[in-house]
């Protein structure tokens, strides 16, 4: 069951991420028990506060568990169906969510059954999974599928991993057939002889009530994953609930778009002895339109079934930070570097639990940005989850408790009866292959490649005979770019910093000819995904990158490590020459010019892009593995395709042609002098960037009075440091630590480019609004070309457009001097006419933002004022967000509360509570918030979705003792009515002040 399709709106389902509760429970003994299942359900119920509820208070974002196939349970259930299982250990179960319509469901069953039989599997029959739909909320019920299980046995001789592969192929073939026939409302949560998923669009407390199987004492497992989903900006569906087939996840995979692109690019290179001719039946590896966890699950499942151990696969996709760890075991370092040649990390804040039905474990991302704690009991029971206290355990029987650190792993191996920590896991895998030998013999370090002396001006920045200013003009580099951006980088070793805000028009609304890169806006982490500090987290940040052809990610050979290692993507004249002259036939470089004849006019741009893409594909066919896209050679007759457009076009063309992994892209460009430019080129597929115009410009600074004491080496080092720090800063805003993950991840949003253009050259990038296409971009390029070769020779001046500072003849600024002066006069004089003048200047200027394009529709008659609700009644429904005292200053917090009380509205204390002194009037005002979040009593209280009621409605937790630890006086204890919040036993209860509406128990 895939995500529904949506009309072109501002909503984009690709931004669905998870911020959830997750964990596992297991014993090293392989003996299954219902106790494990029961504890897993209890644990996920106790994580309910980490989920979300719809307004009906009964529809959640999803919850579920993943367990071993319960053999004793299915032996009995098979007998009920008139079947006899000779060997229940061989039974495989397909958990299937079928369409509600009976006829469609029957056809879906037929397809799934046919594909299973086509793989030689013996289909015993179908079992209706007993469910109680009465526990569901209206929205969950409306989309509730028919849940059935297909029971399968293997043919003679098919066992173990080969059996699992046959089940996987049958499912993949069935999914393809279902999609082809339009049955996207059919979904297979699991199909395995080892594991089984019970999940849905449920609140965790509904899990046991909905799936009646989970109550059966014969429903047994030795391990269980559990998950409560909380999705930000999400469209919850039954299939997107977790766990998936191998994984459950709390966090975000911020590099997802790049990971998906690279998985698609790898597909033509995939080969494996375990699949043989069936390898193409695995494709596509990932399910497009799925959540980040679902896509990660697809990738891990493919790696595992292609022959890798589950733990090995997890070390590949979520490796610990290894690049800059000074005390890391050399064998560990070699292991991680070898696998960096096979796959980029799936990066972002993540706590991931995983199981293959034999082993179960958890791993944290390299920063450790999601919590995961664990306890180990003396009977071997291991419980790990997003927080402690998920299952009540007697501390007298706890032999170890702790939390996972960055990149750490905890595993319970039920097959061998072991509990493994990170060191145990690494010890098991680092010596399975001679990784150190392979790395040492095959990876070439660019810093160690000998290079001949550069020619020309001594640094190799050949300007093709043009004046520096002329070349700057041709590429739309302005006086501000030179004096403020580049000079700051060269002199101070950091990128320019100025006040927040951007008061110039969006590029698509500007009257100026903006370069293409202005249309791209960086995306950044939201509240659920805190950005990291690239300085404080320096040890886990990495700019290491690799160049060269890649091979099948399903295999491991020495040849997989045959790559060139670069410490940074920023190339200089020396390192660029080293790359081109590396002397290894495995890394032949092909220069591809991105110039086009000016006399072709605007139509020449599209033709040039087609020629560049064709040249790139042809170079790969000729055995070249490094494609150097260069815009050198701009002249009176030739203009340059914007390098970002060239890189994006070649990158996606090669992916579509199935050739992307055979070669890497390097951009030799004049169109990169800002950190944003470098991030864009890397983000859209360039492995390295040689900004020759920027380097030539900073070399020219040595003639300036304030830099004449510096050397070429010093200013280049400063520029490189500034650029690298800037790239790390941009990565960190998305919680990304490794450049190899950021590479190709396209973490940008486009405002003002045509949808067809984006789909072709920047595939997958959000561009909700449409805009200009190639003809308009070509006109901009040719405009700057004319400025360079017609205007500049007469003026000898680089344009000062004023993107940063106001210039009289430059770009429009919303806060221009006249606007500011008029505002000052209005404030100082109190003259309403002056204010009207100020208002007219603000609203009457050229459009700068999208809201400036909006107008009130006036086709209909206005509503009579007497039919409009009074303002005083409307404001009573206003509510300020629950920002705690730690997020705001006490003065700001108090002022907001006073303001809301004046309006008759509601303020919220947030999790930190409020000062008791605010319960009394302050100079006639009242700072007492009407919505409270207070600590729970010692007896443990849970609350759920509190409504705007005059009474506190709470539910005493099971086993609690009302009155112990205090009771809220004057209020009833009743059933919950909403979403559970976490209880913190032992904190003590704050008595309520007299003025309140709601209490939220924290």
Catalytic residue numbers read: 20
As a whole number of angstroms, the distance between CA 384 and CA 382 comes to 7
* Residues contacting residue 71 through CB under 8 Å, at least 6 positions apart: 32, 88, 89, 91, 220
Alpha carbon 591 to its chain centroid, in Å, reads 34
As a whole number of angstroms, the distance between CA 701 and CA 692 comes to 15
As a whole number of angstroms, the distance between CA 203 and CA 225 comes to 16
SS3 assignment, position 591: strand
The 10 Å Cβ neighbour count of residue 522 is: 14
Return the structure tokens found at 923: 């100079």
H helices of 341-434, in order, are 422-429
Return the structure tokens found at 326: 């000074």
**Rounded to the nearest 5°, which phi and psi values hold at 523?**
-90, 155
As a whole number of angstroms, the distance between CA 202 and CA 527 comes to 25
Q: Are 141 and 122 in contact (CB under 8 A)?
A: no
Of 192, 197, 195, 196, the residue nearest 165 (C-alpha): 192
Q: Are 230 and 52 in contact (CB under 8 A)?
A: yes
As a whole number of angstroms, the distance between CA 936 and CA 948 comes to 20
Alpha carbon distances (Å) from 670 to 457, 484, 605, 610, 698: 17, 17, 18, 21, 13
Indicate the Cα dihedral angle 24, 30, 35, 38, nearest 10°.
40
Return the structure tokens found at 22: 């997750």
As a whole number of angstroms, the distance between CA 977 and CA 955 comes to 9
Alpha carbon distances (Å) from 472 to 613, 693, 798: 26, 7, 7
Pairing outcome for strands 638-640 and 595-597: antiparallel
The DSSP secondary-structure symbol of 539 reads: G
**Rounded to the nearest 5°, which phi and psi values hold at 934?**
-125, 165
Residue carrying structure tokens 């805009």: 771
Q: Are 571 and 548 in contact (CB under 8 A)?
A: no
Q: Which residues of 680-706 are buried (b: 16+ CB within 10 A; e: fewer)?
A: bbbbbbbbbbbbbbbbbbbbbbeeeee
As a whole number of angstroms, the distance between CA 331 and CA 164 comes to 32
The 10 Å Cβ neighbour count of residue 358 is: 18
Q: Are 529 and 554 in contact (CB under 8 A)?
A: no
Residue carrying structure tokens 């355990």: 393
Asked if residue 284 has a cis previous peptide bond (ω within 30° of 0), the answer is yes
Return the structure tokens found at 73: 């349970």
As a whole number of angstroms, the distance between CA 711 and CA 350 comes to 45
Alpha carbon 870 to its chain centroid, in Å, reads 44
What residues are paired with 942 via a beta bridge? 955
As a whole number of angstroms, the distance between CA 732 and CA 541 comes to 9
Q: Are 35 and 219 in contact (CB under 8 A)?
A: no
Q: Which residues of 801-813 are buried (b: 16+ CB within 10 A; e: fewer)?
A: bbbbebbeebbbb
Of 792, 719, 777, 790, the residue nearest 491 (C-alpha): 719
Return the structure tokens found at 13: 């389902």
Return the structure tokens found at 281: 């039946």
């Amino acid at each position: 069951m895939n995500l529904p399709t949506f009309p072109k709106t501002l909503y984009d389902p690709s931004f669905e991420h998870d911020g959830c509760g997750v964990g596992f429970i297991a014993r090293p003994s392989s003996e299954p028990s219902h106790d494990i299942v029961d504890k897993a359900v209890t644990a996920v119920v106790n994580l309910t506060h980490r989920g979300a509820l719809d307004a009906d208070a009964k529809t959640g974002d999803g919850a579920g568990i993943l367990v071993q196939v319960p053999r004793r349970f299915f032996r009995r259930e098979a007998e009920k169906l008139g079947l006899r299982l000779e060997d229940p250990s061989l039974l495989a179960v397909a958990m299937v969510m079928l369409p509600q319509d009976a006829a469609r469901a029957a056809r879906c069953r037929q397809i799934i059954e046919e594909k299973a039989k086509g793989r030689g599997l013996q289909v015993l029959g179908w079992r209706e999974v007993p469910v109680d739909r009465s526990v569901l909320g209206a929205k969950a019920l409306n989309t509730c599928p028919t849940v059935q299980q297909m029971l399968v046995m293997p043919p003679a001789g098919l066992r173990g991993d080969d059996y699992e592969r046959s089940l996987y192929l049958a499912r993949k073939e069935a999914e393809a057939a279902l999609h082809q026939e339009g049955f996207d409302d059919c979904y297979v949560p699991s199909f395995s002889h080892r594991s089984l998923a019970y999940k849905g669009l449920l609140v965790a407390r509904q899990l046991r009530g909905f799936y009646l199987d989970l109550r059966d004492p014969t429903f047994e497992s030795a391990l269980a994953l559990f998950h409560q989903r909380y999705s930000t900006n999400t469209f919850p569906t039954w299939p997107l609930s977790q766990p998936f087939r191998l994984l459950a996840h709390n966090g975000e995979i911020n590099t997802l778009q790049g990971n998906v692109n690279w998985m698609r690019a790898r597909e033509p290179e995939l080969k494996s002895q375990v699949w043989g001719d069936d390898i193409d039946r695995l494709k596509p590896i990932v399910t497009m339109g799925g959540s980040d966890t679902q896509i990660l699950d697809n990738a891990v499942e493919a790696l595992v079934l292609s022959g890798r151990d589950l733990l090995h696969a997890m070390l590949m996709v979520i490796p610990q930070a290894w690049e800059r760890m000074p005390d890391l075991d050399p064998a560990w370092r070699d292991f991680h570097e070898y696998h960096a040649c096979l796959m980029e990390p799936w990066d972002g804040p993540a706590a991931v639990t995983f199981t293959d039905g034999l082993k179960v474990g958890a791993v944290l991302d390299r920063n450790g940005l999601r919590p995961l704690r664990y306890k180990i009991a003396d009977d071997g029971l291991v419980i790990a989850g997003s927080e402690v206290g998920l299952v009540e355990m007697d501390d007298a029987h706890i032999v170890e408790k702790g939390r996972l650190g960055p990149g750490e792993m905890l595993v319970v191996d039920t097959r061998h009866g072991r509990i493994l920590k990170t060191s145990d896991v690494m010890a098991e895998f680092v010596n399975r292959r001679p990784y150190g030998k392979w790395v040492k013999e095959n990876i070439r370090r660019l810093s160690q490649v000998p290079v001949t002396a550069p020619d020309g001006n001594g640094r190799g920045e050949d300007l093709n005979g043009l004046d520096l200013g002329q070349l700057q003009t041709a590429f739309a580099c302005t006086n501000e770019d030179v004096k403020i951006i580049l000079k700051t980088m060269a002199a101070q070793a950091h990128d320019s910093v100025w006040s927040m805000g951007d008061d110039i028009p969006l590029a698509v609304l500007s009257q100026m000819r903006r370069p293409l890169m202005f249309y791209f806006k960086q995306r950044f982490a939201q509240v659920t995904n805190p950005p990291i500090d690239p300085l404080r987290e320096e040890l886990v940040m990495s700019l290491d990158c690799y160049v060269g052809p890649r091979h099948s990610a399903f295999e491991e050979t020495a040849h997989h490590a045959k790559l060139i290692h670069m410490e940074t993507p920023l190339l200089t004249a020396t390192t660029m020459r080293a790359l081109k002259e590396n002397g290894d036939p495995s890394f032949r470089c092909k220069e591809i010019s991105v110039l086009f004849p000016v006399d072709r006019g605007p139509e020449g741009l599209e033709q040039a892009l087609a020629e560049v893409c064709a040249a790139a594909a042809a170079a790969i066919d000729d055995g070249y593995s490094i494609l150097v896209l260069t815009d050198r050679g701009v002249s009176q007759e030739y203009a340059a395709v914007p390098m970002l457009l060239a890189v994006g076009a070649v990158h996606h063309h090669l992916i579509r042609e199935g050739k992307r992994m055979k070669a890497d892209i390097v951009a030799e460009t004049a169109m990169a002098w800002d950190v944003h430019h470098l991030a864009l080129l890397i983000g859209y597929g360039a492995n390295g960037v040689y900004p020759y115009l920027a380097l030539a410009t900073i070399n020219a600074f040595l003639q300036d009075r304030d830099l004449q004491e510096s050397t070429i080496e010093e200013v280049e080092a400063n520029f490189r440091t500034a650029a690298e720090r800037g790239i790390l800063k941009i990565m960190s805003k998305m919680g990304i630590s490794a450049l190899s993950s950021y590479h190709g991840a396209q973490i940008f949003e486009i405002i003002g480019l045509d949808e067809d253009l984006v789909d072709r050259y920047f595939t997958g990038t959000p561009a909700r609004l449409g805009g200009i296409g190639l003809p308009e971009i070509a006109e901009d390029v040719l405009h700057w070309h004319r400025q360079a070769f017609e205007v500049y020779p007469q003026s000898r001046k680089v344009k000062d457009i004023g993107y940063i500072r106001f210039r009289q003849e430059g770009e429009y600024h919303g806060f221009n001097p006249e606007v500011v002066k008029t505002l000052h006069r209005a404030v100082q004089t109190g003259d309403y006419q002056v204010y009207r003048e100020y208002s007219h200047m603000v609203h009457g200027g050229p459009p700068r933002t999208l809201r400036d394009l909006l107008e009130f529709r006036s086709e209909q008659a206005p509503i009579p004022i007497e039919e409009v609700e009074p303002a005083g009644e409307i404001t009573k429904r206003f509510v300020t967000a629950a920002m705690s005292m730690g997020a705001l200053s006490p003065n700001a917090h108090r002022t907001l509360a006073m303001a809301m009380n004046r309006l008759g509205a509601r303020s919220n204390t947030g999790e930190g509570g409020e000062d008791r002194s605010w319960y009394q009037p302050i100079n006639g005002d009242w700072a007492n918030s009407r919505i409270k979040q207070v600590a729970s009593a010692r007896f443990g209280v849970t609350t759920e979705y509190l409504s705007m009621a005059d009474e506190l409605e709470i539910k005493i937790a099971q086993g609690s003792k009302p009155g112990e630890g205090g009771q809220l006086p004057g209020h009833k204890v009743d059933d919950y009515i909403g979403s559970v919040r976490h209880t913190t036993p032992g904190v003590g209860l704050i008595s309520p002040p007299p003025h309140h509406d709601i209490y939220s128990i924290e």
